[in-house]
Structure formats: structure tokens, C-alpha cells
Amino acid sequence: MYFFKIDLKKYNAFFTFTSEINFFIMKRVSTLLVTILFLCISTISFAQRKHKKKGSKDFTPTEAQKMNFIDRYKQVLGDSLNIPTSKRDTVAAIELSYLLKKMKISNDKSISKDDKEVQTGMLDGDMYMHLGAILNAEELQRLQAFELRQKKEQDERIKAQKDAQAAQSNNNMGYRQNGYYGGGYNGY
């Protein structure tokens, strides 16, 4: 009857040893799978984020932004230039359409800077020709003078910002040259 005598202590010890090995292996495998899953998800999210950044370089205004521009421009036309109310909608719509065309030209990287200036100059000529059909000569001159003043003020603001940035960078360079940053015997 006792031909197959089994030592249960050895069997239980072997079973617990193999179950511990299986648990250890499963723990490692599950950790590896979770890590791979996390890497896949993060790679996908970074790829989508990079794609969104590429798409955001080309700015196209929304309809709400266009309407906001038209409303503000009509207000400027009435307050500063005394253009009649009946002509403000048309003038603002023409200004917006040509502004969008100029933005498209300025965002085009394949065109050189000189060609961009020529094309925007041609667009300005076309725009003033269309506006000349709507506005009388005095109103058109006031509009052109106003836009010229605005462009000069904008150029002056940009130049002042660039000068301030250059002065700031020059001030920082002085600290490095005199030894205040990074130590050394240059400033002592």
C-alpha cells in the first residue's frame, strides 16, 4: 500500500519555492509591461504636441477675431477719421481682406524679404485703389496719413524694444567680462 510514499514536507517546500519564483517573474513582467505602456503613451503624446506646435505657426484668425477687428476698425474710422457711418463697414471689410493677404505673404518662408516688400506694396496700391472707389479724395488722404502714422509708431516701438534688449544683453556681457560671473582674476 505504501508503494508511493510522498514526503509532503518536500512537496510543499518545492511548491512554495516555485510559486515564489513564479510570483517574482510575474512581478517583473508586469512592471516591464507597465513601463512599456507608459513609454508608448508618452511617445504618442509628445508626437501630438509637436504636431500641434507645427500647425500653430500659420496663424489664421477665427471669425470672432475678424469681427472684433472690423468692429474696432469701424470705431477708429468714425472717431479718428470722421468717415461716414455708411462707408465704415465696407472700408473695414476691405482693410481686413487685404490685411489677411499681407499676413499670408509675410508668413511665407519661400519668399525673400525684398519680394515680400514688393508684394505688400502692390497689395497696398490695390487696396487704396479699391478704397478710392468708396471714399472721396479727402477721406482717402486722411486714411492714408493715419495708416502711415500708425506704421511709423509701430516701427518706433519695435526699434525701442530691440534697443532695450540689446542694451540688456550688453549689460550682461559686462558682468561676464569683468569677472563677476564665473570667478577668475579678470575683474580683480
Provide the grid cell at 88: 465704415
Number of domains composing the chain: 2
Q: Report yes or no on 167 lying in a domain.
A: no
Distance in angstroms (rounded) separating the CA atoms of residues 177 and 170:
11
- Please report which confidence band the pLDDT of residue 56 belongs to, taking 50, 70 and 90 as the band edges: very low
Number of neighbours of residue 20 by Cβ within 10 angstroms: 10
Q: Report yes or no on 7 lying in a domain.
A: no
Distance in angstroms (rounded) separating the CA atoms of residues 137 and 2:
122
Q: Report yes or no on 184 lying in a domain.
A: no
Q: Report yes or no on 3 lying in a domain.
A: no
119: CB partners within 8 A, 6+ apart: 105, 111
pLDDT tens for residues 61-87?
889 999 999 999 999 889 988 999 999
Between 175 and 27, residue with greater pLDDT: 27
Tell which of 135, 151, 180 closes a domain.
135
Domain containing residue 128? 61-135
